[in-house]
């Protein structure tokens, strides 16, 4: 199936492994990725704080691009998902706001009619691609791994805008997927909590403690790795993990995988093809459990 | 209809029913909160009954030693805020049928607050924060004569309906992710109340309030996780009010903080290239002349570089960047 694909800034920046692994799994999943190369950054909720009209227009532009493509807009980032879902919901429910955004992007030859569906890859696996197709693509069961899901706030909250009222099952997709891939999901409170990234530049030590605490909780429950659909969570949980260990005064050493990397492993790709050798926290300890090396 | 309730029990005398089984310790950062003992009760109540109905029935007919705080039973007084299945909620507003998971409902005092007994937590941290934002009007002068009132446009008060709806139950603070790691954070309820007065046209201290709220522990220490929006039983949406305060504070000139620098650097990058430039965002947010701050981020930056996670040194612009810049121009405002 064809999707309008917005990779987000982080997969094109500090998390190239996310972009590479998404490209890798597209074919086995039958996804035709039509990348929206000229779509702007979603604003990550940061710009909208100070200038909502601006992010309405920029997000409206991206939604209009997908609409013109006649395809659903696919994200691979919980933050992009949350921002775009929220703006989309507001534009769809507030005619005046939609008209204002449209007046701004009309100069550039765009108009948003309000029909685009924004869907994270995680949702698409269950709702569009179909779990049977995912199961059929598995070449390597991840049996023996205990995996802690880490959703990231913006794919869960605000729940109304993210469509969780109509589809409450979205709260459990990661656990179901982990089981499908042959691994065991770890149940822990931190799964739906905040990684701390939004606060990293404002209150560094508290942001590091926030993310670190959740990893430690998962580790104490036996997790070999955490898997996240959000690269911003990944930046804090993987990129900053050594610093979080320093702040919390204890070793952590738990690898953090992006969702497409986990799928890619199960689909038979080698760790290096998924750039699992380019993490701050080495992934070897988890890969050994499925007899793989980086 | 039969419902099963697991009640988190705690008392300083260490006296428990033999059927109360010790629960696991709470995860960090709450690992120092005393572990509860969970006692299972069965209650027969109509299908529409709420959690508080069950707790009152248990206290009246099964175990009079159960401590539970409640008053109005109508989601008005805010007394019965507690954890229900691991999230803060009002016991009087939560229907048992909706909160029955795997055949039972678990209630306990939240580990994010000090515990007094059973389901009763100590609300002192909550009230300290509430009072810290001076939740009262500082009258604009001249005060109208005693037989007259301030006249304000109806619309300006309608703007505050959400904040006025707060019943001080503490559900937002109990589940606040920032408060969990930062006890000094004013928290969602106090900040929503702060907006209630900042936004009131009768208040004389708007500017001073915004200055206070811009300090550490204030509006910039929120991690933006939406837990408060999710848990608030009255639709106050504290995060939305915090974001309004951030804008008002910046507009009022309180810009010498990482939050404002972060937003400005973020927008500058998007306007320049259409995308975020991670290489320049962090140093600019910390402050280019903040040497200590820069040094603190250095070890993580080195780790990222060593792992091969360095963002591209040459930051490419997206095709059609002129379109993005024109949109910035046309909308105007802070990031023009």
For A173, residues 6+ apart whose C-beta sits below 8 A from its C-beta are A122, A123, A125, A126
The answer to whether the peptide bond before residue B29 is cis (omega within 30 degrees of 0) is yes
**Cβ–Cβ under 8 Å, residues A265 and A177:** no
Confidence label for B315 from pLDDT (cuts 50, 70 and 90): confident
Confidence label for B290 from pLDDT (cuts 50, 70 and 90): confident
Q: Give the closest residue to B296 by CA, choosing from A233, A213, A243.
A: A243
Domain ranges of chain B: 2-121, 124-251, 258-331
pLDDT in tens, B89-112: 999 999 999 999 999 999 999 999
Tell me which residue in A12, A47, A240 faces B263 most closely, judged by beta carbons: A47
A3 membership: H or E segment, kind and range: strand A2-6
For A85, residues 6+ apart whose C-beta sits below 8 A from its C-beta are A118, A161, A162, A163
In this predicted structure, what is the pLDDT of residue A283?
A: 98
Would strands B120-121 and B115-117 be described as parallel, antiparallel, or unpaired?
antiparallel
In this predicted structure, what is the pLDDT of residue B285?
A: 83
Q: Which of residues 196-255 of A touch B (CB under 8 A)?
A: 196, 198-199, 201-204, 206-207, 209-210, 213-214, 216-217, 220, 239-240, 242-243, 248
Q: Give the closest residue to B9 by CA, choosing from B28, B34, B29.
A: B34
Q: Note whether B276 contacts A53, CB cutoff 8 Å.
A: no
In this predicted structure, what is the pLDDT of residue B72?
A: 98
Residue scoring higher pLDDT (B312 or A212) = A212
Task: Determine the Cα–Cα distance for residues B64 and A153; give it in Å rounded to an integer.
Answer: 40
The answer to whether A285 contacts chain B (CB < 8 Å) is no
A2 membership: H or E segment, kind and range: strand A2-6
State the sign of the Cα–Cα–Cα–Cα dihedral B160, B165, B170, B174. Answer: negative
Mean pLDDT rounded to a whole number for chain B: 95
Q: What are phi and psi of B94, to 5 degrees?
A: -100, 110
pLDDT in tens, A197-208: 999 988 999 999
Q: Which CATH architecture group holds B2-121?
A: Roll (3.10)
Q: Note whether B229 contacts A216, CB cutoff 8 Å.
A: no
Residue environment code for B267-284, b if the CB has 16+ CB neighbours within 10 A, otherwise e: bbbbbbbbbbbbbbbbbb
**CA dist A16 to A7, A266, B41, B240, B309, Å?**
10, 20, 53, 33, 7
**CA dist B147 to B151, B178, B202, Å?**
13, 45, 17
Cβ contacts (< 8 Å) between A217 and chain B: which residues?
Answer: 27-28
CA A234-A240-A246 angle, to 5 degrees, is: 145
Could you tell me if the ipTM is greater than 0.90? yes
In this predicted structure, what is the pLDDT of residue B280?
A: 82
Q: Which of residues 103-142 of B touch A (CB under 8 A)?
A: none
State the sign of the Cα–Cα–Cα–Cα dihedral B90, B96, B98, B104. Answer: positive
As a three-state string, the secondary structure of A146-160 is EEEECCCHHHCCCCC
Enumerate the β-bridge partners of residue A120: A75
Work out the end-to-end distance of chain A between its first and last CA atoms, rounded to an integer number of angstroms: 32
The answer to whether B177 contacts chain A (CB < 8 Å) is yes
Q: Note whether B226 contacts A154, CB cutoff 8 Å.
A: yes
Residue that has been written with the tokens 């915004």 in this structure: B210
Cβ contacts (< 8 Å) between B182 and chain A: which residues?
Answer: 203, 206
Task: Determine the Cα–Cα distance for residues B299 and B294; give it in Å rounded to an integer.
Answer: 10
Work out the end-to-end distance of chain B between its first and last CA atoms, rounded to an integer number of angstroms: 61
**Cβ–Cβ under 8 Å, residues A134 and A125:** yes
Q: Note whether A13 contacts B225, CB cutoff 8 Å.
A: no
The answer to whether B298 contacts chain A (CB < 8 Å) is no
For B194, residues 6+ apart whose C-beta sits below 8 A from its C-beta are B133, B135, B186, B209, B213, B241, B245
User: Among all residues of chain B, which has the CA nearest to that of A213?
Assistant: B28
Total CB pairs under 8 A between chain A and B = 193
pLDDT in tens, B22-41: 999 999 999 999 999 999 99
Would strands A146-149 and A184-185 be described as parallel, antiparallel, or unpaired?
parallel
In this predicted structure, what is the pLDDT of residue B293?
A: 81
Record the tokens describing residue B34, joined without a space: 């005393």
Radius of gyration of chain B, Cα coordinates, nearest whole angstrom: 25
pTM of the entire structure? 0.95
Which domains does chain A show, CATH number per domain? 2-120 (1.20.1050.140), 140-286 (3.40.50.11810)
Record the tokens describing residue B305, joined without a space: 């570089």
- State yes or no: pLDDT of A147 exceeds 80: yes
Q: Note whether A193 contacts B177, CB cutoff 8 Å.
A: yes
Class assignment of domain B124-251? mainly alpha
Q: What are phi and psi of A6, to 5 degrees?
A: -110, 105
pLDDT in tens, B237-286: 999 999 999 999 999 999 999 999 999 999 999 999 999 988 888 788 88
Choose the mutation target among B177, B180, B301 for the interface with A, i.e. most A CBs under 10 Å.
Answer: B177
For B305, residues 6+ apart whose C-beta sits below 8 A from its C-beta are none
| Segment B50-59 mean pLDDT | 98
State the Cα torsion B136-B142-B148-B152 to the nearest 10°: -60
- State yes or no: pLDDT of B310 exceeds 80: no
Map residue B24 onto helix, strand or coil: coil
User: Among all residues of chain A, which has the CA nearest to that of B237?
Assistant: A158
Task: Determine the Cα–Cα distance for residues B329 and B333; give it in Å rounded to an integer.
Answer: 9
């Amino acid at each position: 199936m064809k999707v309008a694909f917005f990779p987000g800034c982080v997969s094109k920046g500090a998390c190239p492994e996310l972009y590479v692994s998404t490209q890798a799994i597209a074919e086995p999943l039958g996804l035709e990725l039509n990348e929206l190369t000229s779509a702007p950054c979603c604003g990550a909720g940061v710009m909208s704080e100070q200038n909502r009209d601006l992010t309405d227009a920029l997000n409206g532009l991206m939604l209009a691009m997908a609409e013109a493509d006649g395809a659903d807009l696919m994200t691979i980032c919980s933050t992009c998902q949350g921002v775009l879902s929220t703006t989309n919901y507001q534009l769809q429910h507030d005619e005046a706001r939609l008209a204002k955004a449209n007046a701004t992007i009309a100069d550039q030859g765009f108009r948003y009619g309000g029909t685009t569906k924004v869907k994270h890859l995680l949702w698409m696996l269950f709702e569009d691609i179909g779990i049977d197709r995912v199961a059929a693509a598995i070449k390597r069961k991840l049996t023996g791994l205990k995996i802690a899901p880490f959703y990231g706030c913006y794919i869960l909250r605000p729940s109304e805008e993210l469509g969780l009222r109509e589809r409450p099952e979205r709260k459990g997709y990661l656990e179901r997927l982990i089981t499908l891939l042959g691994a065991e999901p770890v149940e822990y409170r931190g799964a739906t909590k905040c990684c701390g990234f939004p606060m990293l530049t404002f209150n560094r030590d508290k942001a590091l403690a926030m993310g670190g605490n959740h990893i430690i909780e998962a580790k104490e429950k036996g997790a070999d790795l955490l898997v996240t659909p959000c690269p911003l969570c990944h930046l804090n949980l993987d990129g900053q993990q050594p610093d979080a260990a320093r702040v919390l005064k204890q070793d952590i050493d738990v690898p953090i995988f992006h969702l497409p990397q986990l799928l890619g492993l199960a689909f038979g790709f080698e760790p290096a093809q998924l750039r699992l050798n380019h993490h701050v926290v080495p992934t070897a300890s988890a890969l050994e459990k499925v007899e793989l090396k980086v | 209809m039969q419902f099963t309730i697991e009640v988190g029990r705690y008392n300083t005398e260490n006296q428990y029913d033999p059927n109360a089984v010790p629960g696991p310790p709470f995860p960090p950062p709450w690992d120092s909160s005393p572990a509860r003992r969970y006692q299972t009760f069965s209650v027969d109540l109509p299908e529409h009954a709420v959690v508080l109905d069950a707790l009152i029935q248990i206290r009246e007919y099964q175990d009079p030693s159960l401590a539970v705080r409640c008053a109005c039973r109508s989601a008005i007084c805010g007394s019965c805020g507690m954890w229900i299945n691991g999230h803060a909620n009002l016991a009087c507003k939560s229907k048992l049928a909706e909160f029955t998971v795997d055949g039972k409902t678990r209630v306990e005092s939240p580990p994010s607050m000090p515990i007094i007994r059973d389901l009763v937590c100590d609300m002192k941290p909550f009230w300290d924060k509430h009072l810290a934002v001076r939740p009262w009007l500082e009258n604009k002068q001249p005060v109208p004569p005693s037989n007259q009132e301030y006249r304000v446009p109806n619309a300006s008060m309608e703007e505050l309906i959400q904040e006025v709806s707060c019943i001080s139950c503490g559900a937002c603070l109990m589940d606040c992710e920032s408060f969990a790691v930062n006890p000094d954070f004013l928290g969602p309820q106090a900040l929503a109340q702060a907006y209630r007065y900042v936004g009131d046209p009768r208040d004389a201290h708007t500017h001073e309030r915004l200055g206070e709220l811009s300090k550490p522990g204030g509006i910039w220490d929120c991690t933006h996780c939406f837990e408060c929006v999710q848990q608030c039983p009255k639709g106050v949406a504290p995060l939305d009010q915090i974001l309004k305060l951030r804008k008002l504070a910046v507009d009022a000139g309180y810009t010498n903080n990482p939050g404002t620098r972060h937003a400005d650097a973020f927008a500058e990058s998007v306007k320049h290239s259409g995308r975020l430039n991670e290489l320049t965002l962090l140093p600019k947010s910390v402050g280019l002349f903040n040497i200590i701050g820069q040094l603190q981020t250095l070890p993580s930056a080195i780790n990222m570089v060593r792992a091969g996670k360095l963002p591209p040194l040459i930051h490419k612009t997206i095709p059609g960047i002129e379109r993005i810049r024109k949109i910035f121009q046309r909308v105007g405002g802070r990031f023009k």
